[in-house]
A = this chain, B = another copy of it.
Amino acid sequence: MDFQKIINEIYTTCNSETDKGKVANYIPELKKIDPTKFGICLNTLNNNTYGVGNFNEKFSIQSITKVFALTLALKLIGEKVWKRVGVEPSGDPFNSLVQLEFEKGIPRNPLINSGALVICDILVSNLKNPKEEFLGFVQKLSNNNAINFNKTVAASEKKCGFKNAAHINLMKSFGNIKNSVETVLDFYYHMCSIEMTCNELSSSFLVYANEGKLPYNNEEIISKSIAKRINATTLLCGLYDEAGNFAFKVGLPGKSGVGGGLVAIHPNKYAIAVWSPKLNKKGNSNKGFKALELFTTKTELSIF
């Protein structure tokens, strides 16, 4: 299959349509982004890279980082993770707090904000230098030591993160946060501020397509079984309350971030990352979603 031709076509098609999405406006630093940025990058397990558009420019990966955090937490404490966070889709956008209240501070899954905060709490408890070690882990996955936090973005988010503060305090009241609220939030906002290019992002997700092994040296980061489970969780919970629609139309495990990034993997085949800052009403990259839908339609490759 001529992947380069396919992504070029998708790039052209997506650019020919008016993008009705909107750049996230609740994080001051992210508002400044050029809304016309658009890049696609595909990395296959047989070592090929195909890119188009702004696929070599850095952007804030935001929530996508939660998949890395979950991976590291599973590596550190294994199945014990699931005592503090569930594996079920969150369902409703409107009642995440009531769900937390009803289920005694146990978040639905590790990819919604409350669940990611619990994962952060686990990492803070189990790492000596949480921020440094987490960054090192992500650098290793992507085989790239230049990957870094954007401290301005982290500070900007922290200043207006009242909703996250509400969630973490509620979980703390149920005893499901062990460290101080401030420490965990600080780690969380740093973690979300990591910047990557589409190429770096899809490279770093190849580990999930490769049964848990680093594609560049075959080192096992997590077992095949855990890799499969992370993929299942990503498919069911990766796009908030649009996960069903994504599984339905794209048919791959994928994760989005409010910075406009969207990454998906096909087990044993490839990882693909798209970046376009304008978000649809559900908070996922509008063009990114469209591009991946076209990709699995054109290639007829989906897990279903």
- Residues of chain A whose beta carbon lies under 8 Å from any beta carbon of chain B: 86-92, 94-95, 97-99, 101-102, 108-109, 162-163, 165-167, 169-170, 172-173, 181, 224-225, 227-229, 231-233, 235-237, 241-245, 247-249, 251, 253, 267, 297, 300, 302-304
Contacts and interface: CB of A to CB of B under 8 A. Distances in A.
Contacts of A241: 88
Nearest to A237: B244
Given A89-B89, A91-B99, A97-B101, A233 B228 contact: no
Nearest to A233: B248
Contacts of A162: 169-170, 172-173, 181
Given A166-B170, A233-B248, A228 B302 contact: yes
A232 B166 CA distance: 31
Contacts of A233: 244, 247-248
Copies in the complex: 4
Contacts of A94: 98, 101-102
A277 to B, nearest CB: 22
10 contacts: A89-B243, A95-B98, A97-B97, A97-B98, A109-B244, A162-B170, A162-B173, A228-B302, A229-B304, A303-B304
B303 A244 contact: no
Contacts of A235: 235-236, 247, 304
A144 to B, nearest CB: 26
A190 to B, nearest CB: 20
A271 to B, nearest CB: 14
A83 to B, nearest CB: 14
Nearest to A160: B173
Contacts of A92: 91-92, 95, 99, 102
